[in-house]
Amino acid sequence: MQTVLDFEKPIVELEQKIEEMRGLSAADDMDIEDEVQRLQEKLRKLSNKVYSNLSRWQRYQLAKHPDRPYTFDYIDRMCSDFLELHGDRRFGDDKAIVSGIGTIDDTKVAIIGHQKGRNTKQNVYRNFGMPNPEGYRKALRVMQLAEKFGRPVICLLDTPGAYPGIGAEERGQAEAIAKNLFEMSHLRVPLLIIVIGEGASGGALGIGVGDRILMLENTWYSVISPEGCASILFKEEGASKAPEAAEAMKITAQDLMEMKIADRIIEEPTGGAHRNYDETAKILKKIILEEIQSLEELDTDTLLQQRIEKFSKMGTWED
Amino acid sequence: MDWFRRVKKSILSSEKKQIPDGLWVKCDGCEEIIYKKELANNQHVCHKCDYHFRIGSQQYIDMLLDEGSVEEFNQHIKSVDPLDFKASKKYSDQLKNARHKTGMEEAVRSVTGTINSMPLTMAVMDFSFIGGSMGSVVGEKIARATDKARENKTPLVIISSSGGARMMEGAYSLMQMAKTSARLKLFAEENLPFISLLTHPTTGGVTASFAMLGDFILAEPGALIGFAGPRVIKQTIGQDLPEGFQRAEFLLDKGFVDRVVDRHHLKQELTTIIEFCRT
Ligand SMILES: [Zn+2]
């Protein structure tokens, strides 16, 4: 079922109207044809207007849109073959992080990504894309496999956060994330990081250290969700102040470009990735191949040095 | 001895309470009224129930490093307000107030010195400065302390006390986790020990980066240590948390901490570890 956000409504309504008119125009009526063209022009203008003026909160909603493509939607469209690899060899197989090996055109890569569910049943299975420590340990295991065989790694970030549960703490959620940051900073193959939806805090960063950080146009990445931030800062009003928190924390792809954390924004088809999976995957695939090629031109020592420098530069202070 | 119940009680009633002014103080562990001077002479540990009162960076420095050996570095790196952050409060005001209240520039101090005559680089966090939260400056100072230890070929000790990353610096504060971890990986290429001491509380982004990366990980008794805060977990799972959950002793039992160390033995244990690692 399609979910329509408030600010998407006028666009979807106009689209439906055009569809209806088209049905009528089967009678080959010239007047209707003119009207359809007029409405299409109106739709184009309306879409441009709506999507070029989105607030941070609206972008946040697009990033969380229940119809948005997830990791496997991209893998299915980009890879000619993909073998999922399961388990951390320690405790279990986390379903909120998926990993495996595959081929994009002629390039063999390892892909790791957060995976959300499309409906309630899937979301229970995927734990709403919120990993336990096993997910991070599996991710690292597969990254080190890629390192061993000299293949680049692509990480697709899309999580509302690492899971805050009893078992997660018992099995060392913090240690698992910390170990990934530590090891990923020196993994001796190209590491391409792409935020495809939600980049929530350490849960995202746990598979987010790399040579290039790309963000799809309608995504967010920050230290805490706007709701989480609001519930701490505005105790009583709580989550109702989340839009304000989103503004204050500056969480969008555009913001992260300005903060010099993200390296590149990947434009989505008009209306957002959720309106056209195939087109989004096509754009993503092209950029992935381009980025991997340029990273593979660097020798390993330069690659690692640049990676450390990249993160060393992040932040602002007076010295 | 029922350590957990006492600690739990103290968490509920007086999480943020500092030792109040005056000559006497009530123990958060056992409610005993203690003469402040006596407490200070006992390294701020209750003589009756061993409750470890929270202490600041200066007290750790005085307690662990040899007298006259201490030199602070990078003390003038200053936080700015990169996002012009205003929500319920302005971040720039919060910084101003914290500086005024604590007399410190930031939530971490970095020093060189000797411990029983052996050179050491040490970074000590201070919870009293905006909850020991990690923004750009805390991350940068930890990273530079790590570099200093590498350049001077000394062991590195980091004493953590933090509620996590600093929201008011948004994604910048998140990225300090990656920055500090990457620099520790460089440090790890030398044969020098990194000893991480976790004190009450160590949670969030600090735990999920440098604090959990020690070659040796020590914790103070009763310290709350975790990734997610207990309140968030309780809210998420909708049930009460088990007694002693996320305490130093719990992490010891689960295998994430090498030793829970009474403050009285801390200097001696650090010395023993550093001597073991000397080549
Ligand atoms: Zn006591």
Mean pLDDT over A212-222 rounds to 98
Could you tell me if B134 and B230 lie in one domain? yes
Residues in chain B: 279
Distance from CA of A278 to the nearest CA of B (A): 30
- Give residue A33's pLDDT band: very low, low, confident or very high (50, 70, 90): confident
DSSP state of B212: G
pLDDT score, position A234: 85
CATH architecture of A60-312: Alpha-Beta Complex (3.90)
pTM above 0.90, yes or no: yes
Q: Scan for tokens 């411990």, then name that residue.
A: B115
CA of B198 relative to ligand 1 center, distance in Å:
21
pLDDT score, position B173: 98
Which of B31, B53, B75 is the endpoint of a domain? B53
- Give residue B11's pLDDT band: very low, low, confident or very high (50, 70, 90): very low
User: Is B94 part of the contact surface with chain A (CB cutoff 8 Å)?
Assistant: no
Residue B66 lies in a domain: yes
Mean pLDDT over B206-212 rounds to 98
Residue B109 lies in a domain: yes
Could you tell me if B43 and B67 lie in one domain? no
User: Is A68 part of the contact surface with chain B (CB cutoff 8 Å)?
Assistant: no
pLDDT at B6 over 80: no
> Pairing relation of β-strands B225-226 and B194-203?
parallel
**Sequence-separated (6 or more) residues with CB below 8 Å from residue A27:** none
Sequence ranges of the domains in chain A: 6-53, 60-312
Residue B3 lies in a domain: no
Mean pLDDT over A203-215 rounds to 98
Q: Which residue of A has its CA nearest to B252?
A: A170
- Give residue A237's pLDDT band: very low, low, confident or very high (50, 70, 90): confident
Distances (CA, A) of A129 to A123, A132, A140, A159, B47: 7, 10, 17, 5, 48
Q: How far is CA B25 from the centre of its chain?
A: 23
User: Is B244 part of the contact surface with chain A (CB cutoff 8 Å)?
Assistant: no
Could you tell me if B35 and B130 lie in one domain? no
Lowest mean pLDDT among A3-17, A221-235, B15-29: B15-29
User: Is B258 part of the contact surface with chain A (CB cutoff 8 Å)?
Assistant: no
Domain that holds residue B45: 18-53
pLDDT at A2 over 90: no
pLDDT score, position A1: 46
- Give the span between the Cα atoms of A245 and A38, in whole angstroms: 40
User: Is A229 part of the contact surface with chain B (CB cutoff 8 Å)?
Assistant: yes
Closest CA to A229 of A251, A258, A197: A251
pLDDT score, position B2: 42
Mean pLDDT over A49-75 rounds to 96
Helix (H) or strand (E) holding B174: helix B170-188
Could you tell me if B213 and B229 lie in one domain? yes
Mean pLDDT over B57-75 rounds to 97
Mean pLDDT over A72-79 rounds to 98
Instruction: Tally C-beta pairs within 8 A across A and B.
Output: 201
Surface of B (153-212) touching A: CB under 8 A = 165-179, 181-186, 188, 204-205, 207-212
Residue B79 lies in a domain: yes
Render the burial of A236-265: b for 16+ CB within 10 Å, e for the rest. Answer: eeeeebbbbbbbbbbbbbbbbeebebbbeb
- Give the span between the Cα atoms of B129 and B95, in whole angstroms: 9
Closest CA to A188 of A211, A155, A213, A214: A211
| Contact across the interface for A251 and B143, Cβ inside 8 Å | no
Could you tell me if B232 and B191 lie in one domain? yes
Q: Which of B77, B170, B182 sits opposite A249 (nearest CB)?
A: B170
Q: What is the pLDDT of residues B137-161, one digit of tens each?
A: 999 999 999 999 999 999 999 999 9
CA of A314 relative to ligand 1 center, distance in Å:
43
Task: Identify the CATH number of the domain in which residue B230 sits.
Answer: 3.90.226.10
- Give the span between the Cα atoms of B79 and B85, in whole angstroms: 13
What is the DSSP code string of B101-121?
HHS-SSSEEEEEEEETTEEEE
DSSP state of B52: B
- Give residue A27's pLDDT band: very low, low, confident or very high (50, 70, 90): low
From chain A, the residues in CB contact with B76 under 8 A are 319
Q: What is the pLDDT of residues A144-199, one digit of tens each?
A: 999 999 999 999 999 999 999 999 999 999 999 999 999 999 999 999 999 999 99
Token digits of residue B105 = 């520039």
- Torsions phi, psi for A222 (to 5 deg): -160, -175
CA of B50 relative to ligand 1 center, distance in Å:
6
- Give the span between the Cα atoms of B53 and B20, in whole angstroms: 12
Q: Which of B88, B135, B255 sits opposite A234 (nearest CB)?
A: B88
Could you tell me if B262 and B244 lie in one domain? yes
DSSP state of B86: B
Residue B104 lies in a domain: yes
- Give the span between the Cα atoms of B276 and B190, in whole angstroms: 15
- Do the beta carbons of residue B243 and residue B5 sit within 8 Å? yes
Could you tell me if B164 and B259 lie in one domain? yes
Could you tell me if B177 and B272 lie in one domain? yes
Could you tell me if B150 and B175 lie in one domain? yes
Mean pLDDT over B108-119 rounds to 98
> Pairing relation of β-strands B225-226 and B259-260?
unpaired
CA of B255 relative to ligand 1 center, distance in Å:
28
Residue B152 lies in a domain: yes
Could you tell me if B124 and B93 lie in one domain? yes
From chain A, the residues in CB contact with B185 under 8 A are 182-183, 185-186
Could you tell me if B150 and B97 lie in one domain? yes
- Give the span between the Cα atoms of A180 and A196, in whole angstroms: 20
- Torsions phi, psi for B32 (to 5 deg): -65, 140
Total number of domains constituting chain B = 2
pLDDT at A24 over 80: no
Q: Which residue of B has its CA nearest to A184?
A: B182
Task: Quote the mean pLDDT of chain A.
Answer: 95
Secondary structure (3-state) at A113: strand
- Give the span between the Cα atoms of A60 and A196, in whole angstroms: 12
Residue B197 lies in a domain: yes
Could you tell me if B44 and B58 lie in one domain? no
**Sequence-separated (6 or more) residues with CB below 8 Å from residue B256:** A172, A175, B212, B217, B225
Residue B13 lies in a domain: no
pLDDT score, position B114: 98
Secondary structure (3-state) at B193: coil
Task: Quote the mean pLDDT of chain B.
Answer: 93
| Contact across the interface for B209 and A222, Cβ inside 8 Å | no
